[in-house]
Amino acid sequence: MKKIALVTGASAGIGWDIAEYLNRKDFSVVAAARRLERMHPLKEQGIYTIAMDVGDLKSVDAALECIVRDVGAIDILINNAATKVMGPAALVPMADLRYLFDVNFFSLVDLTQKCLPHMQAQAWGRVINISSMGGLFCTPFNSPYSSAKFALESWSRTLKQEVKKFGVEVSLIRPGSVKSEIFDNIVNQTKEELAWTGEWQDVYANFLKAMAKTQAEGADPVCVSEVVHEIITSDSPRVGYIAPVDQEQRVVQYIRETAEDERDSRGAAMFGL
């Protein structure tokens, strides 16, 4: 029987690629996102698509009820859905920060808790959380996103310790520079839209230009999909992976050889701070 894999945030970018990739590998794929109409090409490939706003608990519960009824209980959960908030840490509106944590962390925990009982009952399951290099390193103007990813990192590592004895494996994937739509609305802001950043406006504008360039030159999302497949098919997957995989050794070495203060200073210096 085919394993059933739920991919959140599947209407674009990394989530879209994961859904297509696993479908080609003959998994029973459920693609979930707020923008159901954008997933029509996935539906045409035989992928079950459903509207799910992970930040809305009623939407999540309704979607899960439909999935279990139409496809079956979820064996593999890929938590990919996320939003992005950036700006000076001293000025980011609290409402924006709370919204980001609701979507990027609390809703992910809620969905995972709802999928775990079936995995534990059958003594097999995979929870794959799409983290970020921002969950390992801190850079200016990225405090909201990195804070949620740091929370995800610690929660996932703890969860892995607790559910492993039930046959459920939990892993994190930390993409580096990978093409994604998550930055589009941020990097394209006008000068007027950046006025709220006050005395940081000029350096923040330069930061956004650098981010836009980095995103344009990012790796193909398939590098994340390949790691997802490796985790699913491994008998004993690790807790943490980096994508693209050819960057992993360099990143691990950098962490081992560089003190935290030095890493933070280098991050600030990159953007003129």
Among this protein's residues, is 145 annotated catalytic? yes
Q: 3-state DSSP call for residue 137?
A: coil
Structure tokens at 129: 């959380």
What's the burial of 95, exposed, middle or buried (CB within 10 Å: 0-12/13-18/19+)?
exposed
Rounded-to-integer distance, Cα 232 and Cα 26, Å: 13
Q: Is the peptide bond before 93 cis (omega within 30 degrees of 0)?
A: no
148: alpha, beta or left? (left if phi > 0; alpha if psi -120 to 50): alpha
State the catalytic residue, choosing from 21, 48, 145, 204: 145
**In terms of residues, how long is the chain?**
273
The residues facing 240 across adjacent strands are 172
Task: Kindly list the catalytic residues.
Answer: 145
